[in-house]
Amino acid sequence: MKQFLLETVRDKRLLITAGVLGFLFACFTCFGWQLEGKGNVSFSSFYTYGAILLLTLVFTPVLILLYKITDKIKMSPEEGKKSKPLLVYGISAGVIFIIWFIQLVGVYPGYFNYDATGQWEMYAMDQVTAHHPVLHTILLGVILDVVTGVTGAFNKGVFCFLVLQLFIIALCFAYVVTWLYRRRFSKWFLGAAIVWFTLFPTVVINVLSVTKDSLFSAFFIVFLVMTLELFTEPEEKLKSPLFCSGWILMFLLTGILRNNAIYVMILFVPVLLIRLRKHWKKMLLLCGIGGVLYVIYAGPVSSALTVQGVSTKEFLSVPTQQLMRVYQEKKDSLSQEEIQTYELLFDETAITYYNPKISDVVKGHFNMTEYENNQKECIAFYVEQGLEYPGVYVNSFLHNTYGFWYPMAKLALDIYGNEGYFVCHSNPPAVNNGAVKIIENYYLLFEDSFLVYGDAPTVLLFAPASFLWLFLFVAGNCFRKKKWNELWVLSPVFLLFCTYLLGPVALVRYVSFFYYMVPFEAALLSNFISDKKQK
């Protein structure tokens, strides 16, 4: 024990990492518990800061112990030359697809939910907008239109789209498995990765759902893996036209399939150029090609296919929620003039159906005409209210996002304030008629069962926050072990997560990439990934 303590005290990076994460997890726990129980964080209370200090003192040694345990887990690389990556790729893709396909038949036709209904209506009425990724909307609309027209069954259209989606994501996940194979991970590790991809409920539910997040997250994970390959083997990878083309494709698709992801990709370009400064010309060329293709897609292509670009309203989730919270909580303290301003900016629906966890109703019933005609005055009013009620603004922001960082949070399931984990049924005109009722009923448990969104301990196995904590733990391990390549590769994950903090609600599907990347994170925690080119 004495030797253990001495080693720990001497390991400054371990102490810093565990201390910072311990404090962060303590804040998450304390703030989240108060928001879940009281709806507000008591920033003026001594007990809040006392609780954070106490929890930090609990989390920090636990993290130190966990890091020490990971250090003790030694995995020896498999011997022999890895000469059959294509075979591994094909077998893993086939296995993943077949297992998913069986489950898809079980919940036939899959889950036509969330934004899919709106996207289909846009396409059917020839009113496609850039509110949702245009490529995804058009692809979904064409498949539904053609298959429904030929068969007369909307369900078959949904099923065909999801078969294609399963095939694409299986190819993406097979790339991750093949990367593990090339890195000489054991067959057991590869098998565990396949089991995770095919049987962990949250991963499967996302894959079986017609949402843009399912495809986006798969492309994003491949982008991360390929970028790590670039960082560790730049000479070899940059000489391969196939690899470079694939990297550009992932770069492009990641930016296309989530409107917020393009900002992440732009911010990540300087990191790429600095980290690969010896090859900056080639990297600038790859990024430039990806950027030009995106501009063509977002410009003339999207303009030709849509009737409207991204609405300014989509950037107002946080401020509209903050203003409405002030109105709800401080109305008695507001002047008559201020009340009139609120009632000019928000209609009765926004006031009546305000929900602190989701901004869709408030944002959707915000008077954009008034805002666009008097933008300076509206911004000035927003700033003025924030200076007057800063605590309300902070609590509004935290309440709107705490489902992402507090594991025991009860998540919003829809814009009406219903609570649950994931929508595991189809919206009209699709109707679920699963061929295997056991599978269908099993996944229905993940819609609103207390096991996945209530107070049961099992919530921790599925909560988005649990996977955020895992990500931070892995990033901290890369920092303390000076695995700079791996740490920089994780930076776009952090940037992407931050964009969701400015979004309308904490939904599981938004952070599906956290669930998809678990095998990748497990590999980063290992003690034998080559780090020779970290300088």
The least confident of 31-35, 319-323, 410-414, 492-496 is 410-414
- The whole-chain average pLDDT of the chain stands at 91
Band of residue 315 on the pLDDT scale cut at 50, 70, 90 = confident
**Residue 39 in tokens:** 């709806």
Residue 80 pLDDT exceeds 90 = no
- Other CB atoms within 10 Å distance of the CB of residue 58: 14
Reference 182, options 278, 77, 265; nearest CA is 77
Report d(CA 58, CA 72) in Å as an integer: 22
Residue 532 pLDDT exceeds 50 = no
Q: What's the predicted TM-score (pTM) here? A: 0.93
pLDDT at site 309: 66
Q: In this predicted model, which residue has the larger pLDDT, 308 or 99? A: 99
Band of residue 533 on the pLDDT scale cut at 50, 70, 90 = very low
pLDDT in tens, 237-274: 999 999 999 999 999 999 999 888 999 999 999 999 99
Residue 85: cis peptide before it, omega within 30 degrees of 0: no
Residue 459 belongs to what H/E stretch? none
8 A C-beta contact, residue 370 and residue 345: yes
pLDDT in tens, 432-483: 999 999 999 999 999 988 888 778 888 999 999 999 999 999 999 999 999 9
Which CA distances in Å does 44 have to 41, 380, 391, 396? 9, 27, 9, 16
Residue 8 pLDDT exceeds 80 = no
pLDDT at site 319: 94
DSSP secondary structure of 302-335: HHHH-SB---GGGG-HHHHHHHHHHHHHHGGGS-
Strand partners, 206: none
Reference 505, options 408, 418, 399; nearest CA is 399
The residues near 309 (Cβ < 8 Å, ≥ 6 apart) are: 129, 130, 302
The least confident of 258-267, 300-309, 396-405 is 300-309
Reference 190, options 174, 206, 166, 213; nearest CA is 174
- Written in H, E and C, the secondary structure of 280-304 is HHHHHHHHHHHHHHHHHHHHHHHHH
R_g over Cα of the chain: 24
Q: In this predicted model, which residue has the larger pLDDT, 130 or 349? A: 349
Phi/psi for 81 (5° steps) reads: -75, 135
